[in-house]
Amino acid sequence: MIDALFGSKTRVKLLHLFLNHPGESFYVREITRLIDEQINSVRRELSNMLEVGVITSDSADNKLYYQVNQRYEFYAALRAIFANDAIDESRPAANEEGVVSQHYLAAIENISALRLAIVAGVLVKGSTSPVDVLLIGDVSPAKVKAAMAVIEKHEGRAINYTVLPYEEFYYRLSVRDKFITQILHTKHTVAIDKDNVLSRQ
């Protein structure tokens, strides 16, 4: 049934492989052994999946490696279908553009000494930011890691986050640094702004 829906048995096997191993890379001959399909069929489907953006490729040691694109727009939906682990029923549903789940905001608010927190990227519908969470302040790395782990567990993918000292952020904001501007000029949510620094801009 699912083969007919997705048009190819090889494609379905590839989706199972990649979506059950996010963050892992495979080369073509390794893939053919793992899914037990012909190499020409595998190459054809990998090419199709690359074109759509479901997977990415990178070369190392004279081999081309492929892995799932965790920032693909429909990654979460595909993972819900193809990943073997049970779907987390408490996972926040998709929100309107610019709206972030209260569950994620609560996890971020638990980070002590945080002065500013911006949520964007894959966590905000309509955002094109390469960074998902920007944290500003003299924060504990362990607390940050714990908060990001909560979000990653619900998302089923790696979260791209950056931590900056307040002084560095304020300087980069004042000189219209490209990195900061890119985040602020797309859809985003300000989770915390204790000094009202963004409201003064």
For residues 128 and 185, the answer to whether their CB atoms sit within 8 Å is no
Helix, strand, or coil (residue 48) = helix
Residues 109 and 188 in one domain: yes
Residues 133 and 51 in one domain: no
| CATH code of the domain containing 45 | 1.10.10.10
How high is the pLDDT of residue 76?
83
Beta carbons within 8 Å of 136's beta carbon, 6+ residues apart: 114, 115, 116, 117, 163, 164, 165, 166, 169
DSSP 122: G
Distance of CA 161 to the CA centre of its chain: 10
Domain range enclosing 16:
2-82
10-residue mean pLDDT series, the chain (201 residues): 66 92 92 94 94 92 92 86 64 49 84 93 88 95 93 88 95 94 92 84 57
Is 124 a member of any domain?
yes
Residues 73 and 116 in one domain: no
Residues 173 and 120 in one domain: yes
Residues 121 and 73 in one domain: no
How high is the pLDDT of residue 201?
57
Domain count, the chain: 2
Residues 11 and 69 in one domain: yes
The whole model's pTM is what?
0.70
Residues 74 and 148 in one domain: no
Is 126 a member of any domain?
yes
Residues 132 and 189 in one domain: yes
Residues 110 and 78 in one domain: no
Which bin fits 8, alpha (ψ -120 to 50), beta or left (φ > 0)?
beta
